[in-house]
Structure formats: structure tokens, C-alpha cells
Amino acid sequence: MATRGRPFALLVLLALLALLAAALVVTLTGGDDDATATGSGTATQGEHPIRIGAKNFTEQAILGELYRGALQAKGYEVVLKSDVGSTEIIHRALRRGSIDMYPEYVGVLLSEVAELRQRPRSPSAAYAAAQAYEQRNGFALLEQTPFSDTNALGVKPAYAKRHGLRTIADLRRLRGTVRIAALPEFATRFEGLEGLEAVYGLRNLRAVPVRSGERYAALDSGKADVASVFTTEGQLAGSDYVVLSDPRGLFASGHVAPIVSPQLRERHGPDVHAAINAVTRTLTTSQMRRMNAAVDQSGRAPAAVAAEFLRAQGLV
């Protein structure tokens, strides 16, 4: 019995070694599951999914979902990182390689990243300046949207009537402190308190930091006198709020253009830029305002609203 046991033990040992070797090969190559997970079945896709970033408010969440859905429909693997933060934060993430692209507002890019204090004379001039700035730093600014979502100041109609407010400059006539409900970064931005003082001479303003979805509620409740608003927001479609005009052009072009890293084209080819631009060209003011309202006022999820839009446009 002992003589027979040795060959048997040897066979068992050899079988175990073979299993370990097979497991090692699977570990090193990633196995078949990784190729399936890429969506396109290519090693490049699996190793380098497209990482899209989005800022911390409704419109950005929708834009992130729009680009994600369209790119996935083309077979790209995509990771969407929503709620990254303000321009100052998300642009730094792009520079550091944490994301591959994100949609940016041209005017905000110029004032808060490029620190350009002279206001461009037209949207096309603003886009050219922003494009040149990104190119100097090795990044690409793709096509800009038909819609322009500029920063603005909004008030309740009764408040505007009581104080005779039509323009931002009219705020100088108000006595005491004027409270502005805004995102936290408004307090230190040129398209915020800094610019309102430099361009309009307003020194009687105080920022009341709130979350994006709380700005209009702050106006309604009397917690704030003025709110920092975005002109494509659904709340502005009716007569509940008045937007003060900006005769001195503090708030620059609000057209959106995705900024992309050089690695995006290197890894995925020129078609990836074309797929992104195809989405951008469809985004008109009326479409964007409708999608914003569907999320903010109807409570729908950004992903569902974006998917519906992409289907209607034939992009998925």
C-alpha cells in the first residue's frame, strides 16, 4: 500500500501545481470578465475608462449624464464623477489627471481660472480666449453649446418694485446690508462679490452661503434679499422672480464647452471628440431650461432626464 501511495501523492501534487499556475495566469491577465466589463471588449477601454467630472449643481449633473450616456452608447466605458465641486476644484482635478474631461462655462473659466479681469466683447471672443488658454496648458476646449447659462442676480418681484430695481447698479441705492444667497465660492469670485465691488462699486453686499437647491428658498423665506442665479434655471421661466440686468457686463459668456485632457484623444482616438461635440450641439436654451426644471421642480433624476433627451435626439 505504501508503494502505491507515492505515485498517487505525486499525481495530486502535480495537479495542485497546475491549478495554481492557471490561477496565476488569470490573475495577471485579468481574465475574461475584465474584457466584458469594458463595453467594447478592448484592453485600452478596460485600462482607461473615460472619467467625466461634473460640478455640484443640477445643470452640471444633467450635463455629466448626457455625455456619459452618449459615450456609452458609442461603446466607451465611462465613469461619471458627479458633485466634484466648484470650478476651482474640478479644474484642478483635471490638471492633476483625476478626471479626463468636464463641461465648463467659458466666462467662469476666464475669470476664475485664467484670472482674466477684462470682459470679452462677445461670446466668440470669450471662447477664443478660453480655447487659447487651455491650449497653452496642453488641454483642448471642444465646441461650445448653443445655450448660454450666465451668472445673474435675481430678486422677488415685490422686492424689485419696492426698491425700484431693474439693474445690478440699482443695488447701490439700498441702505444697510444686502444679503445675497449664493454658493460658498461666490464670496471670493470675480463673478461674485469681488467683481460686484470692482465693476459696480457695491460695498453693501454680504454673501449668505447656501446649497445650490436652497437659493430660491432663501429668497422666498426672506433669508436673503437677492440670489445668485443661473439664467437657464427652470425657476426663471415664470414670473416668480426678476433677473436684474447687467449693463456693465460683469457676468461673461455662459456658453458651456467641455475641457478634455490630451490623454483622452491619445487613448480613444479622434472619434471620441466627435461623440462629445454631437451632444454639445443639441443643447439649446429651451432644452436646457426644460431639463433643469424636470429635475429641480418635478423631482426627476438627472440620469432619467438625460436618457430621455438623448433618445429624442437620436444619440443613443
**pLDDT per residue as tens, the chain (316 positions):** 344 444 444 444 445 444 444 443 333 333 333 322 333 333 345 578 999 999 999 999 999 999 999 999 999 999 999 999 999 999 999 999 999 999 999 999 999 999 998 888 899 999 999 999 999 999 999 999 999 999 999 999 999 999 999 999 999 999 999 999 999 999 999 999 999 999 999 999 999 999 999 999 999 999 999 999 999 998 998 899 999 999 999 998 899 999 999 999 999 998 999 999 999 999 999 999 999 999 999 999 999 999 999 999 999 9
Q: What is the dihedral of CA 198, 205, 152, 59, to 10 degrees?
A: 120
| DSSP conformation class of 180 | E
- Residue 10: strand, helix, or coil: helix
Q: Are the C-beta atoms of residues 226 and 155 closer than 8 Å to each other?
A: yes
279: left (phi over 0), alpha (psi -120 to 50) or beta: alpha
Residue 14 confidence (pLDDT): 46
State how far the Cα of 99 lies from the Cα of 82, in Å rounded to an integer: 11
The one-letter code for the residue type at 3 is: T
In this chain, the answer to whether the domains covering 49-148+253-312 and 151-244 adopt an identical fold is yes
Residue 46 confidence (pLDDT): 59
Q: Which CATH superfamily is domain 151-244 in?
A: Osmoprotection protein (prox); domain 2 (3.40.190.120)
The residues facing 28 across adjacent strands are none
State how far the Cα of 130 lies from the Cα of 135, in Å rounded to an integer: 9
DSSP letters, 194-243, are IHHHHHH---SEEEEE--GGGHHHHHHHTS-SEEEEETT-GGGGSSS-EE
State how far the Cα of 253 lies from the Cα of 10, in Å rounded to an integer: 77
H-type alpha helices, 30-147? 31-37, 43-47, 58-73, 87-96, 106-108, 123-136
State how far the Cα of 305 lies from the Cα of 195, in Å rounded to an integer: 35
Residue 45 confidence (pLDDT): 52
Task: Please report where in the chains the cell 489627471 appears, as a residue.
Answer: 97
Residue 125 confidence (pLDDT): 95
The one-letter code for the residue type at 174 is: L
Residue 133 confidence (pLDDT): 97
**Which is nearest to 39 in space by CA: 89, 1, 74?**
74
pTM for the complete prediction?
0.79
Show me where the domains of the chain are located: 49-148+253-312, 151-244
Q: Are the C-beta atoms of residues 154 and 232 closer than 8 Å to each other?
A: no
- Is 3.20.20.140 the CATH number for 49-148+253-312? no
The residues facing 178 across adjacent strands are 205
Q: Cα 36–40–41 angle (5° rounding)?
A: 45
Q: Are the C-beta atoms of residues 268 and 76 closer than 8 Å to each other?
A: yes
State how far the Cα of 216 lies from the Cα of 223, in Å rounded to an integer: 10
**Which is nearest to 316 in space by CA: 300, 302, 304?**
304
